[in-house]
């Protein structure tokens, strides 16, 4: 590669900085690309894609490494972590970000203008990877998917050209769900919403009250307004001093709440009354602090996970959830159930499946990859998926974690008609599979 054309850096195996560049948040999908381009501009991405095409190297993209599913072994990896520019247009209520921007930077840039992005539980997740996966955020029931609020994408396609694509174009449709199969997005423009504060946090319930908390949350959230987005997590906490004392060594239920209203305390009263809480972090807060609602771990680790969207959550399903992810589960599993509905059932359907209006919940499973290995985790998670199968409507792309083949991902998350259209567009825009295949 003519490195004089690059403003960024190039790394090859064995060189200083190579391992650091390749290692992302997800440690269970290790990669050994033949070459890594640490891009700083869209022109760097153009140079890298043209080089890869000339040398018949497959191209992979990585921003933060939160959502890695397939290794980039032997190919050219474009690392976008240096491309972190954020511009907010407070009048138009839009933001334009470069490819490596994390949600935290957008929260900080938009907040002073009384605006917020459709970000998710973690401020560390990458804006582009999240949005190209659909993007299920803290205000999802009020505003719908992040992918449905994109105004324009700058993308380098397989022919090495930098293009701007907007609603109405095939590529625009394909990228939001086709993720890294159609090109490298170098910048994205999207809507912000007029939100400064929210009522948010979590209620934590003890092991003996798991079943009560699950049932109370199911009933309570059924009547929730669209201004409330909520999930329930079941987590087995290790007994470690870094964790909050009331949670150490316990298998707890965490009810997560993000509510855009003033009467939060009265709204959650039935949940607080359902059982004693171990910890209660609910309070009014600036939206910039929304990462504290779920309080997810911020240290890189290896994890494997999947999910299934379901049309209901009946008692038999709750029993299956407790059996497969509660105390005594065959493999320690973090289980998260999100209530869908609201605007999610009304906004246009992007590819990236499971986002269908029949889905009422998504049930996600995630396990840390340790001595057990991925095969054992997969078997344990599929037992729960099998138990939920009669009510399953699909699978959401953002919550497919860890090593999966491109075919497994595409075939499990896209409904047949979307998959056919994605494959047809793939043949047109990337016939040589420079980017990840669509199955
Ligand atoms: C702790 C945690 C919390 C999360 N919370 C939420 C949540 O609340 N809501 C939600 O919807 N999802 C959530 N996710 C899932 C997350 O949205 C996906 O994992 C997403 O793909 C991460 O994108 P990334 O850029 O950070 O990660 P990366 O692993 O760097 O990228 C993920 C995928 O996107 C592709 N990609 C990245 N940048 C580009 C680009 N410029 N052009 C083309 N393709 C690109 C990559 O090739 C890869 O396939 C969470 C994940 C974690 C680990």
In which residue ranges of the chain is CATH 3.30.43.10 found?
Answer: 7-79
Q: Which of 66, 141, 143, 367 to mutate to test the pocket of ligand 1 (most atoms within 8 A of CB)?
A: 66
Beta bridge partners of 94: 89, 191
Measured in Å, residue 241 CA sits from the centre of ligand 1 at: 30
What pLDDT, in 10s, does the model give residues 185-239?
A: 999 999 999 999 999 999 999 999 999 999 999 999 999 999 999 999 999 999 9
CA distances from 30 to 69, 71, 73, 172, 420 (A): 10, 6, 9, 30, 30
Q: pTM to 2 decimals?
A: 0.97
Q: May I ask the CATH architecture of the domain 197-406?
A: 3-Layer(aba) Sandwich (3.40)
Measured in Å, residue 67 CA sits from the centre of ligand 1 at: 4
pLDDT, residue 4, reads 76
In which residue ranges of the chain is CATH 3.30.465.10 found?
Answer: 86-194
CA torsion sign for 339, 133, 12, 59 is positive
**In which element (H, E) is residue 387 found?**
helix 374-388
Please state whether beta strands 86-89 and 94-98 pair in parallel, antiparallel, or not at all (unpaired): antiparallel
CATH topology of domain 86-194: 3.30.465
In which residue ranges of the chain is CATH 3.40.462.20 found?
Answer: 197-406
The count of residues in the chain is 439
Q: Which class would CATH give 7-79?
A: alpha beta
* Other CB atoms within 10 A of residue 314 CB: 13
What pLDDT, in 10s, does the model give residues 112-152?
A: 999 999 999 999 999 999 999 999 999 999 999 999 999 99
Alpha helix (H) ranges present in 120-263?
127-132, 140-143, 170-178, 210-222
What pLDDT, in 10s, does the model give residues 79-120?
A: 999 999 999 999 999 999 999 999 999 999 999 999 999 999
Rounded Cα distance, 187 and 366, in Å: 30
Ligand 1 pocket, CB under 6 A? 24, 60-68, 80, 99, 120-122, 125-126, 128-130, 132-133, 135-136, 179-180, 184-185, 296, 398
């Amino acid at each position: 590669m003519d490195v004089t054309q690059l403003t960024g850096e190039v790394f090859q195996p064995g060189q200083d900085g190579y391992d650091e560049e390749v290692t992302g948040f997800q440690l269970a999908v290790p990669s050994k690309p033949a070459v890594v381009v640490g891009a700083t501009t869209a022109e760097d991405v153009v140079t890298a894609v043209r080089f890869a095409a000339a040398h018949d190297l497959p191209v992979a993209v990585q921003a933060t490494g939160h959502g890695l599913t397939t290794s980039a072994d032997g190919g050219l990896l474009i690392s976008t972590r240096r491309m972190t520019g954020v511009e907010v247009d407070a009048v138009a209520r839009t933001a334009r970000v470069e490819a490596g921007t994390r949600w935290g930077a957008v929260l900080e840039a938009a907040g002073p203008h009384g605006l917020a992005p459709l970000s998710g539980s973690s401020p560390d997740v990458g804006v582009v990877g999240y949005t190209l996966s659909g993007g299920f955020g803290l205000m999802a029931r009020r505003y719908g998917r992040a992918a449905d609020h994109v105004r324009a994408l700058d993308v380098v396609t397989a022919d090495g050209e930098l293009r701007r694509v907007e609603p109405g174009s095939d590529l625009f449709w394909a990228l939001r769900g086709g993720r890294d199969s159609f090109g490298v997005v170098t910048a994205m423009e999207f809507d912000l919403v007029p939100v400064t504060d929210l009522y948010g946090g979590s209620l934590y319930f003890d092991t003996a009250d798991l079943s009560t908390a699950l049932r109370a949350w199911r009933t309570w959230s059924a009547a929730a307004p669209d201004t409330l987005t909520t999930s329930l997590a079941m987590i087995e906490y290790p007994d470690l001093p870094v964790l909050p004392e009331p949670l150490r060594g316990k298998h707890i239920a965490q009810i997560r709440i993000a509510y855009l209203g003033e009467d939060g305390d009265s709204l959650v009263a039935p949940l607080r009354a359902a059982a004693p809480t171990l910890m209660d972090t609910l309070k009014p807060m600036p939206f910039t602090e929304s990462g504290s609602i779920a309080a997810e771990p911020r240290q890189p680790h290896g994890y494997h996970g999947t999910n299934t969207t379901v049309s209901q959550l009946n008692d038999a399903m709750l029993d299956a959830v407790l059996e497969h992810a509660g105390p005594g589960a065959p493999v320690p599993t973090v289980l998260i159930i999100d209530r869908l509905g609201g605007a999610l059932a009304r906004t246009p359907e992007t590819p990236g499946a499971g986002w269908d209006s029949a889905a009422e919940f998504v049930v996600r499973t995630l396990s840390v990859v340790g001595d057990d290995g991925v095969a054992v985790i997969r078997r344990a998670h599929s037992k729960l998926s099998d138990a939920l199968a009669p009510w399953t409507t699909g699978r959401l792309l953002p919550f497919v974690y860890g090593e999966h083949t491109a075919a497994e991902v595409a075939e499990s998350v896209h409904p047949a008609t979307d998959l056919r259209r994605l494959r047809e567009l793939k043949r047109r825009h990337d016939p040589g599979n420079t980017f990840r295949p669509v199955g």
